[in-house]
Amino acid sequence: MTPVEDRFANMALLIGEACALLNARGVVVAANQPMFGLLGQRIANYPMERFIRHQDFVETLRAAREDGRVSELSYTRTDKLRRQLHLRVAPFEREHVLVVIVDKTDTISIDRIRSDFVANVSHELRSPLSAVSGFIETLRDGAGEDRQTRDKFLAIMQAEAERMQRLIDDLLSLSRVEAMEHHTPNDKVDLHALLEQTIAALSAQAMAKQMRFAWHLEAPLGPDACCVLGMADELRQVFQNLIENAIRYGDAGSVIELGFMPEPDQPGFLRVEVLNQGPVIEKQDIARLTERFYRIDAGRARDMGGTGLGLAIVKHIVNRHQGRLRIASSPENTRFCVTLRRHA
């Protein structure tokens, strides 16, 4: 290690943020662990401009090296997830340049999530609140004297209150997942056991529609083959939402199939499928199913207790787990595929 690199290493310990030392040719000669974690180990001994795709980055390096100027840049990095980065570039010793990157993603995401939460709550709660207010006013005007009318209105008011509670719960859940979306969980989760527990919890709902569950395996799986990296509570929420959808929108008396298989194109990943028999989902609707509050049939979805947030929650949890969600529909079945990283 050269004296310049040694001084950089000591300084990097104090900074805490992702930082790298570039030589006169813009090549990364040293970096701390946060920088390797952000851009990857591949940056070592390569020009940093290969990894920071910003039109002003090269000029910023030149200004720091030749003019001694300190500059700042805002940079959006898009890999699997979108990240908002803030770069600081400053001259260092002997024509070297110091690059510090501050990840602003969480701060910006939290501000956006807070704004979205307020907007969504105010929009989606307006209808049930208006309904409840209307029934209260009607009861106060004398309708409450009629026991049959009163009981009918109170039942509707209770249903609307429960709908608001489900909506708030789902919005809070979605906000929590979005806030943590850039932090990948790495616990060992046995998906087979998790799905068995989820099926048991939802069996009463399935039995009410004379539906049953069946397993299918396209390839034999050995011990621990159904274990993935993730967070058990969030993955349970993923499959609870998918199975509840299969029950809610599937045909009465049909079979809900669940299965595991190795992902053919990704050896380190496991595919989990939930299949149900029901109405075909059109292609233009499939493309929008994971949008918050998107419903193919809004009235039917509300009548069945849906909030319009279930698949949005699924999508964000799968993204947080660095996985993939795919949806396909045909006259034979509707198939939800979740691909997750296997536990080594």
Query: Mean pLDDT, to the nearest integer, of 247-261?
Result: 90
- pLDDT attached to residue 303: 54
Tokens read off for 100: 């510090």
- Tell me the C-alpha distance between 254 and 248, whole Å: 12
Mean pLDDT lowest among 173-177, 216-220, 272-276: 216-220
Report the share of the chain in percent with pLDDT over 90: 32
| Region of 322 on the Ramachandran plot (φ > 0 left; ψ -120 to 50 alpha; else beta) | left
Which residue segments constitute the domains of the chain, with CATH numbers given?
3-103 (3.30.450.20), 109-183 (1.10.287.130), 184-344 (3.30.565.10)
- pLDDT attached to residue 111: 58
- What confidence tens digit (pLDDT) does each residue in 225-246 have? 788 999 999 999 999 999 999 9
- pLDDT attached to residue 221: 60
Q: What is the mean pLDDT of the chain?
A: 83
In the predicted structure, residue 298 carries a pLDDT above the cut 70:
no
∠ at Cα 255 (190, 169), nearest 5°?
60
- Tell me the C-alpha distance between 201 and 207, whole Å: 12
Is the Cβ–Cβ distance between 273 and 258 less than 8 Å? yes
Query: Mean pLDDT, to the nearest integer, of 211-218?
Result: 82
**CA-based R_g, the chain, Å:** 26
Q: pTM here?
A: 0.60
Most confident of 129-138, 185-194, 289-298: 185-194
- What confidence tens digit (pLDDT) does each residue in 53-62 have? 888 888 889 8
Mean pLDDT lowest among 101-105, 125-129, 320-324: 125-129
In 3D space, the residue among 276, 277, 273, 240 whose CA is nearest the CA of residue 258 turns out to be 273
Query: Mean pLDDT, to the nearest integer, of 107-115?
Result: 58
In the predicted structure, residue 217 carries a pLDDT above the cut 80:
no
In the predicted structure, residue 143 carries a pLDDT above the cut 80:
no
Query: Mean pLDDT, to the nearest integer, of 115-119?
Result: 63
